[in-house]
Amino acid sequence: MPKELLIQVAPEVAANAQLLNEHLAKLLHVNRSEIQHVSILKRSIDARQKAIKINLKITVFFQDEPFVEDKIELPDYKNVANAQEVIVVGAGPAGLFAALQLIELGVKPIVIERGKDVRGRRRDLKAINVDHVVNEDSNYCFGEGGAGTYSDGKLYTRSKKRGDVDRILTLFVAFGATPDIMVDAHPHIGTNKLPQIIQDIREKIIECGGKVLFETRVTDILIKNNEVQGVVTQNGDTIEAKKIILATGHSARDIFELLDRKKVFIEAKPFALGVRAEHPQSLIDSIQYSCDFRGDFLPPAPYSIVKQVNGRGMYSFCMCPGGVIAPCATSPGEVVTNGWSPSKRDQATANSGIVVELKLEDFKPFAKFGALAGMEFQKSIEQKAWYLAGQTQKVPAQRMIDFTQGKVSKDIPKTSYVPGTTSVELGQVFPGFLTQIMREGFVQFGKSMRGYLTNEAILHAPESRTSSPVRIPRDNETLVHLQIKGLYPCGEGAGYAGGIISAAIDGEKCALKIAEALGLAVS
Ligand code: FAD
């Protein structure tokens, strides 16, 4: 009988199949040659003790037992060239996984994306980084694959529905991601690998008869008698459909403004806002692994930290070990940060958003904007950052201890943020209450993670696109907008996801509900 085991081994043993087999043979009192295969089901790091261990959940298959390697294959996608059409606005994870699910169910998706395909997008990312030019349709947030394409590709989520998460991970593997993502406690793909996966998803959609339109911005949603009829694009073209999945992400301010103008019910939603902190990766390794040098077998260490400060949560967000801080503005005249990393996470620095939870009452100074109050609050901080750093894509920056003491840093060393930094007292970027919380919060972080509070760490401001500042409300059961028939608000922009996996899950959910509404068989 195959044997399922939970074991703890040294990192060098976990990294080497031969050493692992030897370890298991000893543990199980068998000869090494009796072990046919070891399947790793789950892998995590236990860094609580001085001698770091790797937790493994494994199945050991012995000789003379049937063992067939599980092959992950694509689902049986249908040809939908002549099927009923549904519009999917946005080719982020929500839109793309909605499109795949529609195809599986026999519906033809027409995916409409304002940005360029993954290749075309690269040139515009270079333009932001090098020339300080922001293309409003093609940037780190907009374009094929959405905000997730040039990201760290972390694939963990707070979703408790393991089945839903595993389904998305399986699809990622079927489209070319490493099978390790099915096993690791904190899986990630990396910026260098994601674009090919995204491109393969697009090619499958087209091969099955779906449509994908790039550089096509939706500028209007046609509504008659409270029911959608189709969309209008920036060229004035109309594309008709009675069902629209609206998956435009948290940065599509023009879509929020459009809905507001058309009196389609939307509401302000709290989000979180703060800075992006960058430390030397070796410093984070030494804190997290309690060692001077992490060695050859441990990955660059991540961290996760949360504190309550003045009754608000202040926490690390989208932490990227061995990563780079990216300029994520979607319009000229603003500065926004976020982070990415390559699959090996082999850059010299560790960065993380450090953000404070906001409350609706914080948006009061922007109350005249109604449902867009949070968005205007967010915009005002991004614009102030742009202004203070010199009206380019340079970012206001400050050393961490200097920030806690309200002192302008004398100098800012080169950081991973390519457009460059300007030394600014970051208290000028944020409202007073937020600055106070962050000053106090970093001191508390330093007490929990000895070495974290250091002037070697550079803060970049702001980290402001943590989730959507607007919710587009929908019925919990049908997922249809509360007021507009046929409109399916979806993914992060609508307020129903916070990351690649949860956005993809939400895309699938909307597609399933559409198939149900069309009377198609949904198993
Ligand atoms: P989006 O990905 O935002 O996609 C929306 C799409 O709609 C975009 O492609 C946009 O161009 C398009 N669109 C907008 N308006 C229109 C319009 N009017 N007409 C047509 N198309 C339109 N999440 C993680 O889980 N792990 C990570 O490691 C991670 N790292 C990140 C790093 C960076 C640099 C960034 C920016 C984000 C990161 N995120 C990460 C967040 C993650 O990318 C998002 O949560 C996720 O992409 C949301 O998916 P979505 O499909 O709902 O929206």
Each residue of 49-96: pLDDT tens digit? 888 999 999 999 999 888 888 889 999 999 999 999 999 999 999 999
Per-residue confidence at 156, pLDDT binned at 50, 70, 90?
A: confident
Paired strand residues for 487: 244
pLDDT given for residue 295 in this prediction: 85
Mutation choice for ligand 1 from 142, 158, 506, CB with most ligand atoms inside 8 A: 142
Dist CA 486 CA 395 (whole Å): 42
8 A C-beta contact, residue 330 and residue 139: yes
List, in sequence order, every beta strand (DSSP E) within 425-472.
Answer: 458-463, 470-471
Two tokens, residue 281? 């990766």
Residue type, 258: L
Do residues 257 and 340 both lie within one domain?
no
pLDDT given for residue 1 in this prediction: 85
Per-residue confidence at 496, pLDDT binned at 50, 70, 90?
A: very high
The answer, yes or no, to whether any atom of ligand 1 lies below 6 A from the CB of 302, is no
8 A C-beta contact, residue 33 and residue 25: no
Per-residue confidence at 158, pLDDT binned at 50, 70, 90?
A: confident
Sheet holding 53-62, edge to edge: 3-9, 53-62, 35-46
Q: Please state the φ and ψ torsions of residue 300, each to the nearest 5 degrees.
A: -50, 130
Burial of residue 158 (number of CB atoms within 10 Å: 0-12, 13-18, 19+): exposed
Do residues 315 and 264 both lie within one domain?
no
Query: Helix (H) and strand (E) counts for the chain?
Result: 13, 22
pLDDT at 354 over 80: yes
Q: How many CA atoms lie within 13 A of 283 on its CB side?
A: 18
The DSSP-derived string for 406-430 is T---S-----S-TT-EEE--GGGTS
Closest CA to 55 of 64, 46, 63, 47: 46
Integer-rounded Cα Rg, in Å, for the chain is: 24
Residue in this structure with the two tokens 């979180």, named with its chain if needed: 272
In this structure, the residue with its CA closest to atom 3 of ligand 1 is: 249
Do residues 312 and 166 both lie within one domain?
no
- C-alpha of residue 246 to centroid of ligand 1, in Å: 13
Task: Give a yes or no: residue 67 inside a domain.
Answer: no
Two tokens, residue 311? 């009754």
Number of independent structural domains in the chain: 3
* DSSP 3-state percent helix, strand, coil across the chain (nearest 5): 35, 25, 40
Atom of ligand 1 nearest to the CA of 142: 11
Mutation choice for ligand 1 from 151, 186, 271, CB with most ligand atoms inside 8 A: 151
pLDDT given for residue 65 in this prediction: 83
Per-residue confidence at 190, pLDDT binned at 50, 70, 90?
A: confident
8 A C-beta contact, residue 44 and residue 34: no
Q: Please state the φ and ψ torsions of residue 514, each to the nearest 5 degrees.
A: -65, -45
pLDDT given for residue 192 in this prediction: 85
Atom of ligand 1 nearest to the CA of 115: 11
Task: Give a yes or no: residue 329 inside a domain.
Answer: yes
Do residues 145 and 264 both lie within one domain?
yes
In this structure, the residue with its CA closest to atom 31 of ligand 1 is: 151
Per-residue confidence at 246, pLDDT binned at 50, 70, 90?
A: very high
Per-residue confidence at 161, pLDDT binned at 50, 70, 90?
A: confident
Task: Give a yes or no: residue 34 inside a domain.
Answer: yes
- C-alpha of residue 52 to centroid of ligand 1, in Å: 35
Per-residue confidence at 523, pLDDT binned at 50, 70, 90?
A: confident
CB neighbours of residue 66 within 10 Å:
7
The answer, yes or no, to whether any atom of ligand 1 lies below 6 A from the CB of 506, is no
pLDDT given for residue 454 in this prediction: 98
Do residues 458 and 474 both lie within one domain?
no
Task: Give a yes or no: residue 74 inside a domain.
Answer: no
CB neighbours of residue 512 within 10 Å:
18
- C-alpha of residue 249 to centroid of ligand 1, in Å: 5
The answer, yes or no, to whether any atom of ligand 1 lies below 6 A from the CB of 489, is no
pLDDT at 296 over 90: no
- C-alpha of residue 258 to centroid of ligand 1, in Å: 19
In this structure, the residue with its CA closest to atom 10 of ligand 1 is: 142
The DSSP-derived string for 103-172 is HHTT-EEEEE-SS--HHHHHHHHHIIIII---BTTBSSSSSTTGGGTTS--B---S---HHHHHHHHHHH
Which pTM was predicted? 0.96
Do residues 235 and 290 both lie within one domain?
no
Paired strand residues for 141: none
- C-alpha of residue 142 to centroid of ligand 1, in Å: 7
Do residues 92 and 200 both lie within one domain?
yes
pLDDT at 343 over 90: no
Q: Which residue segment(s) compose the domain that 439 sits in?
A: 272-367+380-463
The answer, yes or no, to whether any atom of ligand 1 lies below 6 A from the CB of 114, is yes
Mutation choice for ligand 1 from 124, 219, 234, 318, CB with most ligand atoms inside 8 A: 318
The answer, yes or no, to whether any atom of ligand 1 lies below 6 A from the CB of 153, is yes
Atom of ligand 1 nearest to the CA of 254: 18
| Average confidence (pLDDT) over 273-288 | 97
Task: Give a yes or no: residue 76 inside a domain.
Answer: no
Two tokens, residue 329? 């503005």
Helix (H), strand (E) at residue 260: helix 253-261
Atom of ligand 1 nearest to the CA of 255: 18
The answer, yes or no, to whether any atom of ligand 1 lies below 6 A from the CB of 96, is no
- C-alpha of residue 326 to centroid of ligand 1, in Å: 14
CB neighbours of residue 142 within 10 Å:
26
Residue in this structure with the two tokens 């129903």, named with its chain if needed: 496
Dist CA 366 CA 374 (whole Å): 8
pLDDT over 70 for what percent of the chain? Answer: 100
CATH number, domain with residue 228: 3.50.50.60
Residue in this structure with the two tokens 């996966």, named with its chain if needed: 197
The answer, yes or no, to whether any atom of ligand 1 lies below 6 A from the CB of 191, is no
Two tokens, residue 25? 């043979």
Two tokens, residue 417? 């943020």
Per-residue confidence at 267, pLDDT binned at 50, 70, 90?
A: very high
8 A C-beta contact, residue 140 and residue 150: yes
The answer, yes or no, to whether any atom of ligand 1 lies below 6 A from the CB of 197, is no
8 A C-beta contact, residue 509 and residue 167: no
Do residues 404 and 493 both lie within one domain?
no
pLDDT given for residue 500 in this prediction: 95
Quick check: helix, strand or coil at residue 192? coil
Paired strand residues for 212: 111
pLDDT given for residue 439 in this prediction: 98
The answer, yes or no, to whether any atom of ligand 1 lies below 6 A from the CB of 40, is no
Dist CA 320 CA 315 (whole Å): 14
Dist CA 377 CA 366 (whole Å): 7
- Mean pLDDT, the chain, rounded, equals 95
DSSP 206: H
Do residues 311 and 458 both lie within one domain?
yes
- C-alpha of residue 506 to centroid of ligand 1, in Å: 13
- C-alpha of residue 293 to centroid of ligand 1, in Å: 35
Task: Give a yes or no: residue 79 inside a domain.
Answer: no
Task: Give a yes or no: residue 375 inside a domain.
Answer: no
- C-alpha of residue 289 to centroid of ligand 1, in Å: 32
Mutation choice for ligand 1 from 117, 136, 248, CB with most ligand atoms inside 8 A: 248
The answer, yes or no, to whether any atom of ligand 1 lies below 6 A from the CB of 256, is no
CATH number, domain with residue 15: 3.30.70
Q: Which of 28, 62, 96 corresponds to the end of one domain?
A: 62
In this structure, the residue with its CA closest to atom 25 of ligand 1 is: 499
Do residues 243 and 311 both lie within one domain?
no
**What does DSSP say about strands 487-489 and 244-246: parallel, antiparallel, or unpaired?**
parallel
Atom of ligand 1 nearest to the CA of 500: 25
pLDDT at 48 over 90: no
- C-alpha of residue 498 to centroid of ligand 1, in Å: 10
pLDDT given for residue 326 in this prediction: 97
Cis preceding-peptide flag for 462 (omega within 30 of 0): yes
| Average confidence (pLDDT) over 146-153 | 86
The answer, yes or no, to whether any atom of ligand 1 lies below 6 A from the CB of 218, is yes
Do residues 413 and 333 both lie within one domain?
yes
In this structure, the residue with its CA closest to atom 18 of ligand 1 is: 218
- What phi-psi label fits residue 176: left (phi over 0), alpha (psi between -120 and 50 degrees) or beta? left
Burial of residue 130 (number of CB atoms within 10 Å: 0-12, 13-18, 19+): exposed
Greatest distance between any 2 Cα atoms in the chain? 75
Do residues 238 and 108 both lie within one domain?
yes
Task: Give a yes or no: residue 372 inside a domain.
Answer: no
Q: What is the pLDDT of residues 391-436, one digit of tens each?
A: 999 999 999 999 999 999 999 999 999 999 999 999 999 999 999 9
CA angle (162, 164, 168) in 5-degree steps: 115
SS (H, E, C) 318-353: EEECCCEEEECCCCCCCCCEEEECCCCCCCCEEEEE
| 141, 146, 360 from 251: Cα distances, Å | 7, 10, 19
- C-alpha of residue 39 to centroid of ligand 1, in Å: 34
